[in-house]
Amino acid sequence: MFDTKILFYIHHHGKGHLARCEKLIPIIESLTSIELLTADSDFLIEIKRSFPHLPIHLLPSKWEGVKDTSKRTFDQAFEGVPFSKGATKRASFFHHLIVDRNITGFVSDVSAELTIYARGAGLNVLMQRHTGDISCDPTQVFAYQCANALYAPYPELFESGDFPFKDKTSFLGMLANRVVPTSENQPGITLIHDDKDVIAKVCKQLSHFSQPVTVIGGYQPTSSYPSNVKHIGHVDDLSANVKTEIVICSGGNNTVCELLSAMKKLIIIPQERPYNEQFSKAANLDNIGAVVMLDPALLDDEQSVMRSIKKADALSLSTLQSFYNEVANSHWYSAFEKLVKEQLICPSR
């Protein structure tokens, strides 16, 4: 066995990325040496709080000196890498880091760009998979081809049946703390969402709802809440603060996993993401009767919102139980440990 050192890139878009890495990085630490990489100076500070003992590197911006930042279409090769000196410096930094720090393997938190760079530099690569259809994007498709294996921080039931890279994907299951479902849910509805417009519209439609509505996190809307709505802001422990059985939420992996593991009946209002990630996941789960998907385009229709609540109330607890059973830490821990050993520490070369 040769000496190994793994470089782990942590994506800076969204708190969920760091939350997942806080679970996965210690597994790698128990097996071999590891160093961290990110691309945002503010996020670097947060990572240092979680991993003060590990070397952490800041990737230069590829957008240095770029004035034209056209909206991404996610259908062109390397569309996210501009023709610029900043992009050249970034690629050079990455490859020099691999050589200077004697890196032997790379974990890519959804970065197609860095997955391709790492494979081109001769490294074994694990890449995180999100739900959604990447078939239209040649950069993502090539990155998936470059990766030795993919890991998905959710159960296979979240995934589309026609996902072409399923055979090389390890589904880690419910990557959430094991939660004992409460047998005595309080009446009402809990709303958890980051979109202030969604929060405002849902609260408006529930202004005549006969039971209390609790908003966790998110933003205070510009207008006052209806009298039956209470806003409690950010909480550190989501499942401990959700007291109702029915929850309206966005479709992020961490949120959905944690709430399903607590046997909550979810109404998912997906947020716009590349490759329709949240819409795809919500639709898959709706089709098997695990959640109710509510299209944000329907939030101005009170009847659509109320029908979703009625449908959620009728969700089968037996279906939710199948997710609860996947929560055990031993499942995702052992799955990721095996993946790291096979693909990064003792790979077939």
| Three-state helix/strand/coil letters over 127-150 | EECCCCCCCCCHHHHHHHHHCCEE
Q: Are 157 and 285 in contact (CB under 8 A)?
A: yes
| Per-residue pLDDT at 105 | 98
Instruction: Classify domain 186-324 at the CATH topology level.
Output: Rossmann fold (3.40.50)
> What percentage of the chain exceeds 90 in pLDDT?
67
| Per-residue pLDDT at 114 | 98
| Per-residue pLDDT at 38 | 97
| Per-residue pLDDT at 174 | 84
pLDDT tens per residue across span 128-187: 998 999 999 999 999 999 999 999 999 898 998 889 999 999 999 887 665 555 567 899
- Residue extents of the structural domains in the chain: 5-173+328-345, 186-324
Q: Is it the case that residue 222 has pLDDT exceeding 80?
A: no
**Sheet containing 186-192, strands listed edge to edge, beginning at the edge strand earlier in sequence:** 229-233, 213-216, 186-192, 244-249, 265-268, 292-293
Q: What average pLDDT does range 196-206 have in this prediction? A: 92
Q: Helices in the chain by DSSP H: which ranges?
A: 15-29, 41-50, 85-100, 112-120, 138-146, 196-205, 238-241, 253-261, 277-287, 302-313, 317-324, 329-340
| Per-residue pLDDT at 1 | 46
Which candidate, 53, 122, 120, 117, places its Cα nearest to that of 88? 117
Q: What average pLDDT does range 290-298 have in this prediction? A: 97
Least confident of 27-41, 66-80, 265-279: 66-80
Ramachandran quadrant class, 127 (left: phi over 0; alpha: psi -120 to 50; beta: rest) = beta
Cα separation, 100 vs 4, in Å, equals 14
Which candidate, 159, 217, 203, 177, places its Cα nearest to that of 22? 177
| Per-residue pLDDT at 296 | 96
Q: Residue 330's pLDDT band (boundaries 50, 70, 90)? A: low
| Per-residue pLDDT at 263 | 87
Distances (CA, A) of 30 to 109, 202, 332, 341: 19, 45, 15, 11
| Per-residue pLDDT at 328 | 54
3-state secondary structure of 187: strand
Alpha carbons within 13 A on the beta-carbon side of 25: 24
| Per-residue pLDDT at 160 | 87
Q: Are 167 and 144 in contact (CB under 8 A)?
A: no
Architecture field, domain 5-173+328-345 = 3-Layer(aba) Sandwich (3.40)
Q: Does the model's pTM come out above 0.85?
A: yes
Q: What average pLDDT does range 21-33 have in this prediction? A: 96
Asked if 5-173+328-345 and 186-324 have one fold, the answer is yes
Q: Is it the case that residue 343 has pLDDT exceeding 70?
A: yes
Mean pLDDT for all residues in the chain: 90
* Dihedral pair phi/psi, residue 108, rounded to 5°: -110, 110
| Better-scored residue on pLDDT, 317 or 249 | 249
| Per-residue pLDDT at 331 | 79
Q: Is it the case that residue 349 has pLDDT exceeding 80?
A: no
Cα separation, 231 vs 219, in Å, equals 9
Q: What average pLDDT does range 63-90 have in this prediction? A: 88
Q: Residue 329's pLDDT band (boundaries 50, 70, 90)? A: low
Which candidate, 175, 250, 125, places its Cα nearest to that of 22? 175
Give the long-range contacts of residues 272-277, CB within 8 A, separation 24 or more: 273/130, 273/132, 274/72, 274/74, 274/132, 275/74, 275/130, 275/132, 275/133, 275/134, 275/137, 275/140, 276/132, 276/133, 277/130, 277/131, 277/132, 277/251
